[in-house]
Amino acid sequence: MSETAEAAAAVKDIGLGAISIQGVGKTYQSGKTTFRALDDIDLEIGANEFVTILGPSGCGKSTLLRIVAGLEEANEGEIGLDGEYVVGPGANRGMVFQGYTLFPWLTVRQNIEYGPKLKGISILERRAISNHYLRITRLESFANRFPKQLSGGMKQRVAIARALANGPKVMLMDEPFGALDAQTKLEMQECLLDVMEKEKTTVLFITHDIDEAIFLSQRIVVMAAGPGRILKEFSVALPAERTPEVREHPEFLKLKRELAALLKHRDNN
Ligand code: ADP
C-alpha cells in the first residue's frame, strides 16, 4: 500500500468528523430591530462523539445547527470540520430534520439512492449502498413503498438511511423524533443508537426532551435564550450500551433531576 493510501485508510478507520465551533455569534436584523440569536458559542466535538444540544424553544439550537451545516452564516466566529473551515453545505455533513423531507415521488430505495446517484455512482454500487442502509435501518421489506405509505417512524428511518448513504462524517439532527408519538420515539432512539454503533459518525443532535438527550448522548450541552448561549455541559456517565433499562439507572435519574432543575430555574428567571 502506498503512503497516501495508508494514510487514507487510517483516516477511514478513525472515522474523523471532529467539529470545532469557535466564538460563533449570530444577529438577525429585521428593519430597525436586531435580535441576538447566538452569542459567543464555543464547542469542541470529538470524532465519533454523540453530543446533544438541549434547551428551550428559541434558544438558538436550530440556528447553531444550520450554521454548522453551512446553510446559514455566522456573524462572528468560525466552524471547523476536521481542521477545514466550513464555508457552505457539503456531503461530509448529513442532515435529518423533524419534518419529513423525503421525495414523495420516489420509493424508499430511490430516496436512499438519490445522493449516490447524483454523485454518479454506478447502479450496482448504488444497489449495494441502499441494501446496506435498508438492512441496518430495518426497512428491507419496505424498499418499494412510497413515503405516503409509511408511518412517521419509518419515514424518519428512511431519512436517516438517506443521509447516511452519502457517507457523511457528521450527522446533524434537528429534533428528528419531535413529531412522533411517545412509543415510536423510544423505538427510534434505540434504532438510531444501533445504526450509529455500526456507522460510527459524529452526531450533533438537537432536542428539548431531557430523557431523549440523556438516553442518546455521551455529552449534553445546555443552552439558554436571550441571547442564545451555552449554559453548562454534562458528561453522561452511563454504560456505552444503552439498553432500555438504562432509563432506570441511578445516574440517568440523577442527571434528569439536575437538567430539569437547571431548565426550570432558567424558565423562572
Ligand atoms: P430553537 O431551535 O432553539 O427553537 P432557533 O434557532 O430556531 O431556536 O431560533 C432562535 C431565535 O432566533 C428565535 O427567537 C427565532 O425567532 C430567531 N430566528 C431564527 N431564525 C430567524 C430569522 N431567519 N430571522 C429572524 N429571527 C430568527
Per-residue pLDDT band for 12 (boundaries 50, 70, 90) equals very low
Give 203 Cα–ligand 1 centroid separation in angstroms. 22
Give 106 Cα–ligand 1 centroid separation in angstroms. 32
Give 247 Cα–ligand 1 centroid separation in angstroms. 31
Q: Supply the residue whose CA is at minimum distance from atom 6 of ligand 1.
A: 60
Question: What is the per-residue pLDDT across 39-50, written as a single tens digit (0 to 9) for each?
Answer: 999 999 999 999
Per-residue pLDDT band for 16 (boundaries 50, 70, 90) equals confident
Euclidean distance between CA atoms 202 and 168, whole angstroms: 9
Q: Using omega within 30 degrees of 0 as the cis cutoff, is the peptide bond preceding 227 cis? A: yes
Give 161 Cα–ligand 1 centroid separation in angstroms. 28
Q: Average the pLDDT over 128-133 and give the result.
A: 97
* CB-neighbour burial class of residue 34 (10 A; exposed 0-12, middle 13-18, buried 19+): exposed
Euclidean distance between CA atoms 14 and 46, whole angstroms: 11
Q: Domains in the chain and their CATH numbers?
A: 3-267 (3.40.50.300)
Q: Average the pLDDT over 131-135 and give the result.
A: 97
pLDDT higher than threshold 90 for residue 4? no
Residue found under cell 447502479: 123
52 lines ligand 1 (CB under 6 A): no
Q: Supply the residue whose CA is at minimum distance from atom 15 of ligand 1.
A: 58
Ligand 1 atom showing the smallest separation from residue 60 Cα:
6
pTM for the structure as a whole = 0.92
Question: What is the per-residue pLDDT across 75-110, written as a single tens digit (0 to 9) for each?
Answer: 999 999 998 999 999 989 999 998 878 999 999 999
- Evaluate whether 33 touches 41 at the Cβ level (below 8 Å): no
